[in-house]
């Protein structure tokens, strides 16, 4: 595998694109406004990157990252994503996304909703619990003593193995937290959301970040409680 595609190229998507190019991957970026609006990012990323429509990016990617507001999940191009490993960075913000009754009632997770929209894809929750500047700053080579871990969740074991491979290339260890139904454990307002990677979460966006290994992350994930 050699191509990372991004549907949504904002703070998280753009950061992942930069990490991917640094790791020697080809990158295809897309957004809702059209490829021409990504010329500056593509120029920054260099010859390994190109811009495309969301459907073109979906078709091109060996891994596809969905990094769009939850309210736009239903715009994901299902057909070209069939059979693909889709990494979902979504967090639920009712003020931005509108109220979603099933999420408010805690009967489903954001990634389970995406999986329902993409029944032929293999959705893995990833990259949603870390501030984008920390994501950029904390990447480390394999074996580094200060290597940071990120949580993943998914219903397909092979897809989670593939996601773990991608995280490794980008500079992170992966902590498997279970199925998509358990991905709430590292969504917004849980102990594993932003806090493990921040010296002082109250100091965002200026906080420089700190490494968090798998043991630290596991303790945060396991301490989550669903009200």
Taking alpha carbons only, the member of 130, 123, 96 closest to residue 108 is 123
Q: Give pLDDT, residue 226.
A: 86
- 32: three-class secondary structure by DSSP: coil
pTM given for the model: 0.96
Please give the class, per CATH, of domain 3-222: alpha beta
Q: What is the mean pLDDT of residues 11-22?
A: 98
What are the boundaries of each domain within the chain? 3-222
pLDDT digits (tens, 9 = 90+) for 193-211: 999 999 999 999 999 999 9
Q: At CB < 8 A and 24+ separation, what contacts does 50-59 make?
A: 52/5, 52/28, 54/7, 54/30, 55/80, 56/28, 56/30, 56/80, 57/5, 57/6, 57/7, 57/28, 57/29, 57/30, 58/5, 58/7, 58/84
Q: Give pLDDT, residue 44.
A: 97
pLDDT digits (tens, 9 = 90+) for 78-134: 999 999 999 999 999 999 999 999 999 999 999 999 999 999 999 999 999 999 999
């Amino acid at each position: 595998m050699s191509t990372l595609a991004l549907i949504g190229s904002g703070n998280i998507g753009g950061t992942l694109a930069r990490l991917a190019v640094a790791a020697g991957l080809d990158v295809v970026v897309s957004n809702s406004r059209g490829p021409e609006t990504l010329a500056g990012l593509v120029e920054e990323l260099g010859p390994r990157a190109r811009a495309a429509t969301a459907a073109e990016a979906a078709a091109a990617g060996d891994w596809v990252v969905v990094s769009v507001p939850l309210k736009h999940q239903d715009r994901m191009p299902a057909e070209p994503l069939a059979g693909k490993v889709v990494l979902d960075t979504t967090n639920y913000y009712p003020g931005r996304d509108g109220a979603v009754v099933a999420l408010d009632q805690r009967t489903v997770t954001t990634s389970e909703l995406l999986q329902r929209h993409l029944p032929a894809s293999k959705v893995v929750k990833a990259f949603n619990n870390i501030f984008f500047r920390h994501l950029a700053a904390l990447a480390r080579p394999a074996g580094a003593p200060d290597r940071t871990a990120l949580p993943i969740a998914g219903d397909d074991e092979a897809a989670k193995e593939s996601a773990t491979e991608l995280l490794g290339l980008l500079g992170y260890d992966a902590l498997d937290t279970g199925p998509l139904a358990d991905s709430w454990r590292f969504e917004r307002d849980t102990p594993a959301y932003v806090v493990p990677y921040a010296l002082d979460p109250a100091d965002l966006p200026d906080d420089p970040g700190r490494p968090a290994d798998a043991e630290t992350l596991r303790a945060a994930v396991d301490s989550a409680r669903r009200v």
